[in-house]
Amino acid sequence: MESVSKPFSFTLACLSLFISAAFLLHAAVPHSPSTFGANFPLRSLSALRVSALSFSSSLSIRPLNAQVASNHSHSYLGFDRNIYPGDAAMPILRKTFAFTSYWLSPPPGEKTNTWLGKREFLRAQGFGFLVLCRGRETGELKNEAAAKENGTQDAKNAVAAAKSEGFASGTIIFLDIEEGGRLPASYHAYLGVWSEELTRVGFHPGVYCSGMPVKEEPGVTISTADDIRNDAASREIIIWAYNDSCPPSPGCTFPQEPPPPSSSGIGYAAVWQFAQSPRRKEFTAHCPAKYAPDGNCYAPGDMAHSWLLDVNTATSPDPSGGAK
């Protein structure tokens, strides 16, 4: 911490602030033309106020919001995978990753959930969390009434599982949506009531979805993330976007300074999944950082290639706020 041993500079700083306050107060109070002279221009008065404020700022007095912004300029690496990699893997993975996924339901294609009961162990290791649950497929949502019924029930199940695992109110729960492009109206109805139910009981809704543009017709493209964002009922949902296409993805890499989620092409994304296992050759052929020969992505410390995983970057080391 810098020592306060410069009384003259301190006096100048105080004096400049006093002058600034005096001019601002003067501007707020009605004055007769004789106060500064009948021909004294208001632009000159403004210049005096700006000059005083500029002088005070030269003495290293920074606005609080600038200090806060500088504390949130860093991005953090995390991983996700459907199957829990095992207790022995987590200290190794923690050397590379700040956060991990955490399923509240069986992942897509699985009948069981191997992550249950692991929150406290992972929290003790210093991990943050991406808390998620499986979303319905479009074919399961026959009509709007069925969609709303399923959405409400799925939200209740997710909240019950979150509480059972020790996640507190305020945690963001991401709904896993595997479909790309524009979602049908029934899915928006499902997502709307799912979001409302989570919010009603004190949790925050998020979605894992595609941030990759899909061509609908000549000159028209849409991503699932934008489709959700453009829907009024879903506008406040936190977006975890996946886009493993190179570019913008850097490929299977683990940089000390990860790219921000906004580099995904979805400027409002809080999380970006930029590498998937196994890789999709049609999107990853030009990745600068290559995947393993078997097509998967492995952490640097995984010398035996035991835990294939997906790689993410986020604006927080605990994107779901689940470590609280």
Please write the tens of the pLDDT for every residue from 167-178.
Answer: 999 999 999 999
State the 10-residue block means of pLDDT for the chain, 324 residues long.
37 41 39 33 31 34 31 85 98 98 96 97 98 96 95 98 98 96 96 96 98 92 96 90 97 96 97 98 94 96 96 98 96
pLDDT > 90: percent of the chain: 74
Is pTM beyond 0.85? Reply is no
Residues 6+ apart with CB under 8 A from 304: none
Please write the tens of the pLDDT for every residue from 288-324.
Answer: 999 999 999 999 999 999 999 999 999 999 999 999 9
Task: Look at residue 234 in the predicted model and tell me its pLDDT.
Answer: 82
Task: Look at residue 31 in the predicted model and tell me its pLDDT.
Answer: 38
Task: Look at residue 251 in the predicted model and tell me its pLDDT.
Answer: 97
pLDDT > 70: percent of the chain: 78
Judge whether 283 and 244 are in contact, CB under 8 Å: yes
